[in-house]
């Protein structure tokens, strides 16, 4: 508690500095002019512009129309992208916003998926809201455990500790009979919301997954604009300063970690329900690496970058592994995909989302902006 209700009284100080602001009455607490001036300029980037909402909304409308004209192949491909986009968005909250690069994020995806299977009723369909909540809760619980321990480390140690905990979860499912061992386990009846939504139905599942992506995106977009989101960004940029200002940064990072885990659990739930099957490979570290690649490909630090990264990565993988397009090279899609990603990252350091700005800036020589 503050022993004295803090009065800044910098206004007196402002007067003492000799009324620096032209046109502002010395000692004024209120901004110089409400309508314009530097304060308005400072707050403008925060306001959600129509244009910034337009692109996601158009994208959503386009995706919603897919089942009406597309064949099964295309629809399944879109579902795959939608689910991976949710997974990528969940990691974006950690890696892009908070600056916490985790190499164990697939553990939460896998735990969400296994929960959807293992906690489903033995007979009959599970209730959709209950099963969804259980999946996300299980993933969040493991994230709380992993985060509470790993967030005491930093940098490369954080990467290693998250990787270790993910591998631990992987081997639990791989080497014990808990979830059918390395063979995986089947989900017999897909969950449903009686009378409203049966995820057995292809279109029902499609719209449910799309809705999950829209909610995830909307939630994270609101979060990033909020005080919580600004604090996370502050932690990414300068954690020491955040602590000096009075933020318990550990709590913020843990909250972000748990939320990211829960959203990864949502993606895992969708995969389990789509496939009706889960196996331990979902938790493998390669999956954690892949989702990180999607973020880097799309552009770290942007929600749209995460979605774009999931889209482009999936399309490239699809392209390089289909014999119709690349012939015998299809057997070696890891090689071609890997080379492509190296080329992308080398030429677009800010990812695909940063490409327009990069092209605009091209004519001018790169100037050193930072003088430190």
Partner 1 sequence: MSDAAAPTSDRVLLQAAGLTRRFGGLAAVQNVSIELRRGEVHAVIGTNGAGKSTLVNMLSGELAPSDGTIRLAGADITRWSQPKRARAGIGRSYQRTNIFNEFSVFENARLSAQAAHQRVWAFWQGARRCARSGPVAESAIDAVGLTRHAGEPAGILSHGGKRQLEIAMCLATRPQVLLLDEPLAGMGAEETERMLRLLAALKAEHAVLLVEHDMDAVFRIADRITVMVNGEVIATDVPDAIRRNADVRVAYLGEDA
Binding region for partner 1 (CB under 8 A): 1-4, 6-18, 20-21, 24, 28-32, 38-39, 41-48, 219, 222-223, 225-231, 233-234, 237-238, 240-249, 252, 255, 369-372
Contact indicator for 208, 86 with CB cutoff of 8 Å: no
Q: Toward partner 1, which CB reaches closer, 71 or 246?
A: 246
Nearer to partner 1, 248 or 332 (CB): 248
For residue 10, the minimal CB distance to partner 1 (Å) is 3
Query: Based on CB atoms, which residue is closest to partner 1, 93 or 278?
Result: 93
Closest-CA residue to 333 (of 342, 344, 341, 322): 322
Least separation in angstroms between residue 94's CB and partner 1 is 16
* For partner 1, the closer CB: 215 or 222: 222
Minimum CB separation of residue 228 from partner 1 in Å reads 5
The residue among 10 and 55 lying less far from partner 1, judged by its C-beta, is 10
In whole angstroms, the minimum distance from the beta carbon of 266 to partner 1 comes to 17
Q: Token pair of 137, please?
A: 């809760």
Nearer to partner 1, 27 or 289 (CB): 27
Smallest distance from the beta carbon of 223 to partner 1, in angstroms?
Answer: 5
Judged by beta carbon, residue 10 or residue 342, the one nearer partner 1 is 10
Based on its alpha-carbon atoms, the radius of gyration of the chain, rounded to whole angstroms, reads 24
Q: How far is CA 84 from CA 5, 96, 198, 267, 331, in A?
A: 49, 16, 22, 7, 23
Q: Nearer to partner 1 by C-beta: 262 or 270?
A: 262
Q: Cβ closer to partner 1: 39 or 333? A: 39
Separation between Cα atoms, residue 357 and residue 354, nearest integer Å: 6
- End-to-end Cα distance, the chain: 37
Other Cβ atoms closer than 10 A to 184: 19
Q: Shortest distance, CB of residue 49 to partner 1, whole angstroms?
A: 13
The rounded distance, in Å, linking the Cα atoms of 264 and 139 is 7
Nearest alpha carbon to residue 187 among 124, 133, 138: 124
- Closest distance between partner 1 and the C-beta of residue 83, in Å? 24
Distances (CA, A) of 34 to 12, 28, 47: 21, 13, 16
Give the shortest CB-222-to-partner 1 separation in angstroms: 6
Q: How do beta strands 197-198 and 277-278 pair? A: unpaired
CA distances from 15 to 12, 31, 32, 365 (A): 5, 14, 14, 43
Task: CB nearer to partner 1: give 31 or 56.
Answer: 31
Q: How far is CA 219 from the centre of its chain?
A: 11
Alpha-carbon span 146 to 111, nearest angstrom: 13
Burial class (CB in 10 A: 0-12, 13-18, 19+), 182: exposed
The distance of closest approach from Cβ of residue 362 to partner 1 in the complex, given in angstroms and rounded to an integer, is 21
Tokens of 200: 């057995």
Tell me the closest approach of the beta carbon of residue 29 to partner 1, in angstroms. 5
Cα–Cα distance between 107 and 264 in angstroms, integer? 9
DSSP secondary structure code for residue 302 in this structure? -
Q: Give the pairing of strands 192-193 and 197-198.
A: antiparallel
């Amino acid at each position: 508690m503050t022993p004295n209700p803090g009065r800044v009284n910098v206004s007196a100080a402002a007067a003492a500095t000799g009324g620096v602001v032209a046109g502002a009455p010395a000692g004024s607490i209120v901004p110089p002019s409400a309508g314009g001036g530097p304060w308005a300029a400072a707050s403008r980037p925060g306001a959600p512009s129509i244009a910034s909402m337009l692109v996601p909304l158009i994208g959503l409308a386009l995706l919603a129309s897919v089942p009406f004209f597309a064949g099964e192949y295309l629809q399944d491909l879109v579902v795959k992208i939608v689910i991976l986009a949710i997974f990528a968005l969940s990691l974006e909250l950690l890696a892009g916003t908070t600056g916490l690069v985790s190499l164990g994020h697939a553990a939460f995806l896998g735990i969400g998926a296994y929960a959807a299977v293992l906690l489903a009723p033995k007979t009959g369909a599970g209730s959709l809201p209950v099963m969804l909540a259980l999946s996300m809760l299980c993933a969040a619980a493991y994230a709380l455990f992993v985060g509470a321990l790993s967030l005491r480390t930093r940098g490369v140690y954080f990467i290693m500790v998250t990787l270790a905990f993910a591998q631990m979860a992987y081997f639990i499912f791989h080497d014990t009979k808990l979830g059918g061992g390395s063979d995986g386990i089947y989900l017999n009846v897909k969950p449903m919301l009686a009378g409203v939504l049966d995820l057995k139905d292809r279109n029902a599942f499609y719209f449910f997954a799309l809705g999950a992506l829209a909610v995830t995106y909307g939630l994270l977009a609101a979060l990033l604009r909020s005080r919580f989101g600004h604090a996370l960004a502050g932690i990414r940029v300068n954690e020491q300063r955040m602590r000096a200002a009075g933020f318990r940064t550990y709590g913020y990072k843990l909250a972000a970690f748990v939320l990211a885990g829960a959203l990864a659990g949502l993606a895992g739930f969708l995969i389990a329900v789509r496939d009706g099957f889960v196996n331990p490979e979902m938790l493998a570290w390669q999956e954690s690496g892949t989702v990180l690649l999607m973020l880097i490909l799309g552009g770290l630090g942007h929600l749209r970058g995460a979605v774009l990264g999931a889209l482009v990565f999936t399309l490239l993988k699809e392209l390089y592994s289909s014999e119709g397009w690349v012939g015998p090279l299809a057997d070696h899609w890891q090689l071609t995909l890997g080379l492509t990603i190296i080329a992308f990252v080398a030429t677009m350091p800010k990812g695909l989302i940063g490409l327009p700005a990069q092209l605009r800036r091209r004519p001018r020589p790169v100037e050193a902006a930072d003088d430190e």
